[in-house]
Amino acid sequence: MAEKHKNDKVTPKVLKGFRDYQPEEEIARADLIEKARTVVERFGFLPIQTPSLEFAETLLGGDYTSDNLKELFGFEGPEQVAMALRYEFTVSLARYVAARPQLTLPFRRYQYGNVWRVDKPGPGRFREFTQFDFDIVGTASMLADAEIISVMTGILEQLGIERYLVRFSNRKLLNGLTAYAGIPPEQAPDVFRVIDKLEKQGREAVVLELGPGRIDISGDKIPGLHLTDDQVKQITDFLDIAEKPGDDILERAQELLGNIETSRRGIDELRQVNGYLADLGISGEKTQIDITIVRGLGYYTGPVYETTLTDLPEYGSVISGGRYDNMIHRFSNRQVPAVGSSFGVDRMLAALVALNTRELKSATADVIVTTMDKDRLTDYLAMVREIRNAGINAELYLGETKNINKQLKYADKIGIPVAVIAGSDEFANGMVTVKDLRAGSAKSEEVADRKEWLKADEIQVTIKRKELISQIKKLLTLHAS
């Protein structure tokens, strides 16, 4: 007897750390990406796209193990090849450039798309998210760093964000600090990790963590690095300089670390970047040298930068990056310098909503053509075709109801701003009514039938049929202003 198949329903759920995007979110994300794309192309950046899946050795290096493959969404593919979903775009870019020795340099590239990380999910933190990157490959000039910072400021302002601060430092300067304090190179990343907590945890917590360790607010023991008192003192002397920003911050850093060649190079590079930013017309109020900026990724070799929003400091850095001159060498015998920056699209969108600079809408259509009389469908189709041919996004109402109030409420609910209304009276007189739904949304809650809607002269106008397109454009221009 054949086995009986079950008809159990599949539960409609998504994996932990993943999410669906509602139409209003996806529309806003697409608009944000388009605005960022406009800025980077204004600076001459070119688009590329790399695969979502890469060889595990590409993402992790040739000495990867099955254990660190588990840190990514990694698995063995159909050809028994270890592979993983990309966790960022920078490594893929390095692989792309190394594989193309004929590539014209400097190469300005941008890329956006989804990346995946096996992080612990939390509020606003997902395992799949969209990232937007822009990089300049093939030049060691600090002018490239200044260009990247200039693009960062351009994107923020294109998005309507005016109050922000880009802070930047240099990993050479910080490497010189650990050399000055006599800290072994292999311990330097741990020191940087602790210094990176300065803004969130405060100076006292950082000093304790450099030394014996501390107890955090939850009561957990945070182990210390057990640096000597002299080493901690040398680092706090450096932090003292950082806590008093000003034009002479680099001079004071040079007085402290001037005998360290690495620091001298880092200080010189920061001076160059600062000068180029001034030449590019970037406001000194929007950019600031902050010698405590670290950036967590270990591949940075020079300037590093982070951006905070003045009105949303709790969001942390919303767009950041730095110079990574050694990564392409990992794939090639060539030493190719590179610098870039990136931002998370969803995090940036959340900031725009919080700042009230972005209104979410769930419609792509700007106009709805209502259908009151099913016998005049040919006329309605002619109108919607004319509107679309004029380059205006338009939707024909396809629901079953003839009730105009319900049709207008549908349009208002999904955010369509303009409605075209034509019934027997309008058709008989060669007229059409155009209604401003945004202006009339409050009134729509108060009226019950079409006659009351038609009394609202301040939010609608009945015009000659031939004037339809010009009236719609007039209303849409009003909404855009």
Closest among 320, 353, 400, 388 to 90, alpha carbons compared: 320
- Please check whether residues 186 and 249 belong to one and the same domain: yes
CA 345 to chain centre: 3
Q: Which amino acid would we find at residue 43? A: F
Integer Cα distance of 309 and 318 in angstroms: 8
CA torsion through residues 176, 177, 178, 180, sign: positive
Q: What are phi and psi of 228, to 5 degrees?
A: -70, 165
Pairing, β 221-223 against β 213-215: antiparallel
Query: Are β-strands 338-344 and 320-323 bridged in parallel, bridged antiparallel, or unpaired?
Result: antiparallel
The reply to whether 305 and 184 lie within a common domain is yes
Domain that holds residue 409: 367-480
User: What does the block give as tokens for 179?
Assistant: 């050399």
Helices H / strands E in the chain, number of each: 19, 18
Please give the DSSP secondary-structure letter assigned to residue 122: B
CB 84 within 8 A of CB 121: no
Residue 404: inside a domain, yes or no? yes
DSSP letters for 129-179: EEEEEEEEES---HHHHHHHHHHHHHHHHHTT--SEEEEEEEHHHHHHHHH
Q: If we measure between CA atoms, which residue out of 414, 424, 324, 300 comes closest to residue 362?
A: 414
Task: Give the end of a domain, one of 331, 354, 377.
Answer: 354
Q: What CATH number has the domain bearing residue 211?
A: 3.30.930.10
Contact 169, 294 (CB under 8 A): yes
List the pLDDT tens digit at each of the 481 positions of the chain.
555 556 689 999 999 999 999 999 999 999 999 999 999 999 999 999 999 999 999 998 866 666 667 789 988 888 899 999 999 999 999 999 999 999 999 999 999 999 999 988 877 789 999 999 999 999 999 999 999 999 999 999 999 999 999 999 999 999 999 999 999 988 888 888 888 888 888 888 888 889 888 888 887 888 888 889 999 999 999 888 887 766 688 999 999 987 889 999 999 999 999 999 999 999 888 999 999 898 867 789 999 999 999 999 988 899 999 999 999 999 999 999 999 999 999 999 999 999 987 677 789 999 999 999 989 999 999 999 999 999 999 999 999 999 999 999 999 988 899 999 999 889 999 999 999 998 765 555 555 554 554 455 558 899 999 999 999 999 998 877 6
- At 294 the pLDDT is 86
Quote the CA–CA distance of 295 and 304 in Å, as a whole number.
7
Give me the sign of the Cα torsion angle 206, 207, 212, 217.
Answer: negative
pLDDT score of 345? 96
Domain boundary among 296, 322, 354: 354
Q: Could you write out the DSSP letters of every residue in 290-357?
A: -TT---S-TT--SEEEEEEETT-GGG--SSEEEE-TTTGGGTSSS---EEEEEEEHHHHHHHHHHTT-
pTM summary value: 0.87
Check: CB of residue 412 under 8 Å from CB of residue 441. yes
Q: Residue 133 in contact with residue 340, Cβ under 8 Å?
A: yes
- pLDDT of res. 48: 98
Do 288 and 277 meet the contact criterion of CB atoms below 8 Å apart? Answer: no
The DSSP code sequence of 21-77 is --HHHHHHHHHHHHHHHHHHHHTT-EE----SEEEHHHHH-TT--HHHHTTTTEEE-
Say if residue 288 is in the same domain as residue 153.
Answer: yes
Give me the amino acid identity at 122: G
pLDDT score recorded for residue 5:
59
Number of residues written out for the chain: 481
Of the candidates 201, 105, 177, 96, which has an alpha carbon nearest to the alpha carbon of residue 144?
Answer: 105
Residue 66 lies in a domain: no
User: Which runs of E-coded beta strand occur in 216-282?
Assistant: 221-223
Domain-embedded: residue 2: no
Domain membership flag for residue 17:
no
Q: Quote the pLDDT of residue 245.
A: 64
Say yes or no: 379 and 442 in one domain: yes
Question: Which own/partner pairs from 437-446 qualify as long-range (CB within 8 Å, at least 24 positions apart)?
Answer: 437/408, 437/411, 437/412, 438/479, 441/412, 444/405, 444/408, 444/409, 444/412
233 and 287 part of one domain: yes
| Short-list 270, 275, 329, 279, CA closest to 302 | 270
Do both 261 and 218 map to the same domain? Answer: yes
Residue 270 sits in the same domain as residue 375: no
Tokens 């300065």 sit on residue: 198
For position 218, what pLDDT does the model report?
A: 80
Whether 459 maps to a domain, the answer reads: yes
Residue that terminates a domain, selected from 324, 354, 384: 354
Express each pLDDT in 26-65 by its tens digit: 999 999 999 999 999 999 999 999 999 999 999 988 666 6
In a domain, 209, yes or no: yes
Structural domain tally of the chain? 2
* 337 and 458 co-located in one domain: no
Is 334 among the domain residues? yes
Same domain, 287 and 334: yes
Please give the span between the terminal C-alpha atoms of the chain, in angstroms, as a whole number: 72
Spatial CB neighbours of 406, under 8 Å, sequence gap ≥ 6: 399
CATH of the domain at 449: 3.40.50.800
